[in-house]
Amino acid sequence: MANLQIEQSPFAGLLLPLRHNLIVSCQARDDEPLNDPFILAQLAKSAVLGGAKAIRANKPENIRAIRKAVDVPIFGIYKKDYPDSPVYITPTVDDAREIVEAGCDVLTVQMTDQPRPNGESLADFFQVLRRQFDLPIMADVSTLQEALVAAELGADIIATTMAGYTPYSRQLAGADFQLIREIVTAVSVPVIAEGRISTPNDVRQAFAMGAYAVVVGTMITRPHVITAHFAEAAKEVQGGDQYQAAVRVILDAVAAQEGESIRAAATAITETIQAGGTLYLLGTGHSHMLAEEAHFRAGGLASVVPILPAGLMLHESAGASTLMERTSGVAAAVLDRYPLRANDCLIVFSNSGVNAVPVEAAMLAKERGLTVIAVQSKDYAAQLTPRVHGKKLGDLADIIIDNHLPPGDTLVSLPGTPLTTGAGSTVVGAFILNTILSEVIDRLVRSAGTTPIYISANLPGATEHNQRLIKENRARNPHL
């Protein structure tokens, strides 16, 4: 990632408070009901009340009204069409002068690789702006190459606003997160993510890609589009759409409600890894896939060890594995293959939390001094009685993470029958596991500057890198 030089910028006082914050675009098209300076100013006030740290506004009259209503920075634009050019965001110096005089704090201009009005070159246009206006200039671009040109010319900020709106840029249904990352890596000025940012998760993803700030417009300030979004969701969904909708709801519930437990798990695992310990993963039946999920994985910790007894999987005999996971005494034989030590961690994936192997594995791990983390459905476990030792997995775990799945796991109702389909535990379990591990790895890197993780086998240097980690971890991981 390029080194930002914001503190040295003459506009640091304006730019620094915007770091990792939201900018709201308060605009309306000419034919829309909210196209009125007073209304747009009220929208801006509402946005600031909700936490926006700046406003993006179009046209001098709207900027003047918003300037009177809020005291946060205004990113000014002037959308105008010229017959000899496809450039429409503040295309000329005269357009720029009008919005500067109206009171904008940041002058925003389109700096795409397209013919400009009157055949003016982009370099000449920018130089005139720099000479005439003592404001930070933000370049709206659509490609990495345009961003590089804008940075070379001296743009103070670069935004991905035009991505997908020029014929030669990537045409995506959503935001171009790849472009955000490319530009952040290549330039040393703040990069603002803008363009089809539609959900809070999009905002999070943009910041994960390195965005300095994020602009959201349509999904905050255009009620008819927001209404259409909800109206579409109100339509009856079937099959695959129903499954996707259900999974999104559950993932959102996990993200919103399990953060404390996930962070507690990450803390325990981080401390284990820092002390040279091991994270073990156990699941029976289909849950064994979650134990494999983090094993020898690109980007995965080398100190993660899956517990994988073949008899408890499904590929040899589904019936036998079901019987074995309910049989007392199996867990002890399974764990004997692995060098579990005090202060290691064990994550047990068990949707119901009552079968013998998960419960007894947790008991044995506790006896050996491990921290036990359970990933299960609390609703499912609550409906069942213990099967061994009068205990459920949740009774033994130090940390419980609820996967928020319904009893029985399945998410899609089948019309005219009592049957349901569409299992969710693997998807949600993988989401929880990778969330925990991403947090752990981030903490380890912040603490030590590096951490032992595998890299994809097809990348340069991967063979040597991974073989070294395999050699270092083979003694504790029988699956290497």
What's the pLDDT score for residue 232? 85
Q: What is the pLDDT of residues 272-318, one digit of tens each?
A: 999 999 999 999 999 999 999 999 999 999 999 999 988 888 888 89
pLDDT tens digits, 372-390: 999 999 999 999 999 999 9
Name the pLDDT band for 58 (thresholds 50, 70, 90). very high
**CB-based burial label for 20 (10 Å; 0-12, 13-18, 19+):** exposed
pLDDT at 1 over 90: no
Helix, coil or strand: residue 145: helix
What is the structure's pLDDT at 178? 97
| Mean pLDDT, rounded, of the chain | 95
Question: What one-character-per-residue DSSP string does 77-124 give?
Answer: E-B--BTTBS--BS-SHHHHHHHHHHT-SEEEEE--SSPPGGG--HHH
Instruction: Give the span between the Cα atoms of 365 and 281, in whole angstroms.
Output: 12
pLDDT confidence of residue 20: 97
Q: Does residue 235 carry a pLDDT above 90? A: no
Mean pLDDT value of segment 415-441: 95
Per-residue pLDDT tens digits for 59-106: 999 999 999 999 999 999 999 999 999 999 999 999 999 999 999 999
Tens digit of pLDDT for each residue in 130-153?
999 999 999 999 999 999 999 999
Strand partners, 280: 305, 346
Provide φ and ψ at 14, rounded to 5°.
-85, -40
**By mean pLDDT, which of 141-150, 214-223, 236-245, 263-272 is the weakest?**
236-245
Look at residue 2 in the predicted model and tell me its pLDDT: 59
* Domains parsed from the chain with CATH numbers: 15-230 (3.20.20.70), 248-473 (3.40.50.10490)
Gap between the Cα atoms of 239 and 7, Å rounded: 53
Question: How much is the pTM?
Answer: 0.78
**pLDDT attached to residue 93:** 98
Locate 269 and state its tokens. Answer: 């695992």
- Distance between CA atoms of 392 and 380, rounded to whole angstroms? 11
Q: What average pLDDT does this structure show over 224-235?
A: 88
pLDDT mean over 40-63: 98
Q: What is the DSSP letter of 70?
A: -
pLDDT of residue 312: 86
pLDDT for the residue numbered 436: 98
Residue-level pLDDT at 4: 77
Share of the chain above pLDDT 90, in %: 90
Q: What is the mean pLDDT of residues 151-159?
A: 97
**334 near 362, Cβ under 8 Å?**
no
pLDDT greater than 90 at residue 234: no
Neighbours of 283 (CB within 10 A): 29
Q: Mean pLDDT over residues 203-215, rounded?
A: 96
Per DSSP, helices labelled H in 316-475 are 318-325, 330-335, 356-367, 378-382, 393-396, 425-448, 462-473
Predicted confidence (pLDDT) at residue 3 exceeds the cutoff of 70: no
The yes-or-no verdict on residue 41 having pLDDT over 70 is: yes
Rounded Cα–Cα distance for residues 111 and 43 (Å): 28
Per cent of the chain over pLDDT 70 is: 99
